[in-house]
Amino acid sequence: MRHLLAAVAALALSSPAFAHITVDASRLTLSEVVLEFPDVLLLKLDKFDADSSAYVFAVEEALTGKPPETKTVRFELQAKGKPVPRLAGLKAGDPVILFVGSPDNRALAFAAGGWFLTTPDQGWQRFTQFRDDFRQLFDGTLPELADAVRALRRGEDVVVPIHPAGGGRRSGRS
């Protein structure tokens, strides 16, 4: 019995486990994602070179956490050396929400083209893959996502549009 109590105490006092985003998004809530990524930034596309897939975003607002030291975030949005077609429609002034600061150093982004992962590399956020399953935890507009993150930062409950596995859009609590 003493060993069981010691094991329970050790678990209770250990550092929190992180819900790494390698899991299916159907097992996550938006509030868990915000906890995983302590810094959430609202960005606006400042300039880009479509041929090289280089995009420079200006930091508009820190939705959670601390503002970054730099006022810009650079993205390389290509896969296998070619521009990512779903993100090719981004134009100057378009917003993106970037979730950063996870323990595994990856970032999660939400843009008009959907949810995608990036990996930092030599001052750039490099596209790694789309995560369409993240529509299961949020499937609304970018302003709705920004408002939901702000509300979560204030400690409020939020109800957001989701796209559950199997289809159909509905609302989910986070």
What's the mean pLDDT in 110-136?
93
- Let me know if residue 14 belongs to a domain: no
The sign of the torsion formed by the CA atoms of 6, 32, 46, 129 equals positive
Percentage of the chain modeled with pLDDT above 70: 82
Query: Which residues 6+ apart lie within 8 Å of 101 measured at CB?
Result: 37, 38, 39, 65
In a domain, 73, yes or no: yes
Residue 15 in domain: no
Give this prediction's pTM. Answer: 0.81
Can you read off the two tokens belonging to residue 77? Answer: 């949005």
Domain that holds residue 90: 21-173
pLDDT, tens digit (0-9, with 9 covering 90-100), for 9-20? 332 333 333 334
Cα gap 112→49, rounded to integer Å: 18
> Is residue 9 in a domain?
no
Q: How many domains does the chain have?
A: 1
pLDDT tens, residue by residue, 151-169: 999 999 999 998 887 655 5
CB neighbourhood size of 59 (10 A): 17
